[in-house]
């Protein structure tokens, strides 16, 4: 399942992401990323918010 451009409840809005992205400096070293930074951040936030185990994080946030 690919990353959907639509913002879901609890995910960062485009405006929030634009601000947050300013804090992420540099670039990833090594292989090309499998998922976007936004997917990773929203996935971490989803897991923290729900308290669910990593294996239960929805696929839209990338593989656990």
Is residue 12 within 8 A of residue 41, CB to CB? The reply is yes
45-55: average pLDDT: 92
The rounded percent of the chain whose pLDDT value lies above 90 is: 14
Q: How far is it, in rounded angstroms, from Cα 59 to Cα 1?
A: 7
Alpha carbon 60 to its chain centroid, in Å, reads: 9
| Mean pLDDT score, 38-43 | 88
Q: Flag whether the pTM goes above 0.75.
A: no
Where exactly are the structural domains of the chain? Answer: 38-64
């Amino acid at each position: 399942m690919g990353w959907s451009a639509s913002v879901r409840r609890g995910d960062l809005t485009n405006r929030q992401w634009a601000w947050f992205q300013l804090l992420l400096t540099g670039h990833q070293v090594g292989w090309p990323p499998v998922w976007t930074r936004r997917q990773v951040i929203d996935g971490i936030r989803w897991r923290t918010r729900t308290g669910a185990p990593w294996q239960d994080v929805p696929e839209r946030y990338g593989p656990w």
